[in-house]
Amino acid sequence: MRRMIFGMALSLAFVAAVACSGDTGSPTEAAAPPTSTPPAARATQPAIAPDLQENEDVAASSSDSGPKKGGVFNSLWSDPPTMDPHLVTDGTSYGIVIEVFSGLVRLGPNTSNPFEPDLAESWSVLEGGTVYEFKLRKDLKFSNGDPVTAQDFKWSFERAAHPDTASTVAEEFLGDIVGINEIVEGSATTASGIEVVDELTLRLTIDAPKAYFIAKLTYPTAFVLNKDNVESLGRGWTDEPVSTGPFTLKEYRIGQRIRLARNDNFWDRAAYLDEVVFNLAGGVSMAMYENDEIDITSVGLADLERVQDPTEEIGKDLVEVPPNFAVSYVGFNIKEPPFDDANFRQALNHAVDKQLIADQVFSNLVKPAYGIIPPGFPGFSADIQGLEFDPELASDLLAQSAYADPSARPRIVLTVPGTGGSPGLTTEVVADMWRQNLGIEIEIQQVEWATYIQDLHRGRLQAWSGLSWQADYPDPQTFIDVLFRSNSAINYGGYANDQVDSYVVSAQTEQDATKRVQYYNDAEQIIVSEAAWLPLWWGVDSKALIKPWVKDYAFSSLTIPKFKDVWIDK
């Protein structure tokens, strides 16, 4: 459930991701993908992702000399809205949090299997798929040396769900566990579905067999925290967090930099890098790269021809970046006029020539989206009938809507993240097409990223753009269910359709993989036909520059921790 700002110039298209969202004008980092489960768990995971197997990581080449310890990796980033894993909903925060904190299981670089153990060394699925028993690794330690136990996970899950924590996503990611929703609602403080069997054994009972449950535990909402650290420092605990990931937070100066240092108490092989430094002060990433201030940058359209010129020395650093499993879109608040009228929303969809924008504006580096689930992702269907460009049909639908009369039409405000300057080329072009093809005028409003995210969560936006939604794990549930189920906390547009709800609820417990995918496809077709969104682009084909001394930096389509394996050869 990561939202990420869509880089209108494509310069940041491969950046930190969206279930989440990320910031367009910020990170110059790359997103990455999923892993493997132990045999006991593997048997319960439907094989619904054949296309995912083909989308393996692209990595910076390794030196024959082998990995070396030491060195600093430098990147351009932006201030994360939060460093609290239980509050993460955006890609800017996510990209840092997953390097510092960790959970029972994780996504990883080997896409032949979607998940792998992390702090848990194994797990078993019992009682027909309603009980998950995790065995923690022996001698686990927090970065301060404290032992990590099953009790720490119980406390962390219950803390994430507690109203005082104010997590907007705890219900979605942990709500399948029996008793969690009562904590969210404020009627309980402990969950009966979380049982500490012994120091190294945690048992989770969920309300029904759900194929995607283990996937949800890879998200930061399910990460373990140190109780003494959180409670002793109060609201300021994230300034000095005790962690379990491959890195610790060494320094955070708002608007200046974040420094991550190697965690010597990490359970796995220690990171090679001494530090990862994120520059938060901003700047022109290409210029910073050429001045050796940062070690990686994406390549915008303005620089593409130059870096692809074989006579240019910088072209030796060029690498291909696989598309993220993401969809960028314009969102509508279905509860507010004029977006409460399906004909009006459909008219807006049919009035936008996405192929023309892809051709003329983005040199075909973007792929027009006419559905929700991206190509190559589990559950993608080429049979979804999208609302394609048809200005005559758009005019007819507008005439049939309750808002055909411009004088009676409410003011329309489209909000985008930003702090001044251009609101983004896509937003401007889409607004111009609405004006030309339908005579619909809109106001474009920019707000700062953290405020944008907050307003989105609170349902304050009438319409919004500049975002893409990136998959958190390889399952169609992360798109169709969490975004469009009527009672989802992440259904920001308030979309509601009884048949869609029926399909996604059926898919939650369906054990037949083929039937389960069909439920999602049927729901997706309704969502698209009713124009709950204006889908714009699926994941972007992009290019990056990475310094020749950076080794084993992996680019891929889902976001995973990556810096543990990076090393510097200079």
Q: Which residues pair with 446 in a beta bridge?
A: 416
What percent of the chain is helix, strand and coil (3-state, nearest 5)? 30, 20, 50
* Tokens standing for residue 129: 């798929």
- 491 or 301: which leads in pLDDT: 491
Among candidates 91, 93, 69, 73, which has minimal Cα distance to 81? 93
Give the pLDDT mean for 429-445: 96
Alpha carbon distance 551, 109 (integer Å): 15
CB atoms within 10 A of CB 309: 11
Asked if the structure places residue 282 within a domain, the reply is no
Asked if the structure places residue 468 within a domain, the reply is yes
Q: What is the pLDDT of residue 57?
A: 47
The least confident of 58-62, 168-172, 313-317 is 58-62
Give the pLDDT mean for 6-32: 36
**Which residue range forms the structural domain that includes residue 348?**
326-539
If one counts the domains in the chain, the total is 1
Asked if the structure places residue 266 within a domain, the reply is no
Report yes or no: 417 and 428 within 8 Å, Cβ to Cβ.
no
Q: What is the pLDDT of residue 15?
A: 35
Locate tokens 């022109």: which residue? 284
Q: What is the pLDDT of residue 157?
A: 98
Domain containing 423 — which CATH number? 3.10.105.10
Give the pLDDT mean for 367-390: 96
Give the pLDDT mean for 140-150: 98
pLDDT band at 413 (very low <50, low <70, confident <90, very high): very high
Q: What is the pLDDT of residue 327?
A: 95
Run of H or E including 450: helix 449-457
Q: Does the pLDDT of residue 38 top 70, yes or no? A: no
pLDDT band at 53 (very low <50, low <70, confident <90, very high): very low
Asked if the structure places residue 452 within a domain, the reply is yes
CB atoms within 10 A of CB 526: 14
Among candidates 71, 92, 122, which has minimal Cα distance to 25? 92
Among candidates 555, 334, 452, which has minimal Cα distance to 90? 452
Asked if the structure places residue 420 within a domain, the reply is yes
Q: What is the pLDDT of residue 322?
A: 86
User: pLDDT digits over 159-214, tens only?
Assistant: 999 999 999 999 999 999 999 999 999 999 999 999 999 999 999 999 999 999 99
* Tokens standing for residue 349: 């969809």
Q: Can you say whether residue 520 is alpha, beta or left, with left for phi > 0 and alpha for psi between -120 and 50 degrees?
A: alpha
Give the pLDDT mean for 243-267: 97
Report yes or no: 162 and 189 within 8 Å, Cβ to Cβ.
yes
pLDDT band at 559 (very low <50, low <70, confident <90, very high): confident
Q: What is the pLDDT of residue 163?
A: 97
Asked if the structure places residue 265 within a domain, the reply is no
Alpha carbon distance 373, 517 (integer Å): 11
* Pairing status of strand 413-417 against strand 443-447: parallel
Q: What is the pLDDT of residue 508?
A: 95
Give the mean pLDDT of the chain: 88
* Tokens standing for residue 276: 């990862």
pLDDT band at 29 (very low <50, low <70, confident <90, very high): very low
* Tokens standing for residue 145: 């040396």
Asked if the structure places residue 186 within a domain, the reply is no
Report yes or no: 276 and 247 within 8 Å, Cβ to Cβ.
yes
Give the pLDDT mean for 386-412: 97
Q: What is the pLDDT of residue 2?
A: 56
Asked if the structure places residue 206 within a domain, the reply is no
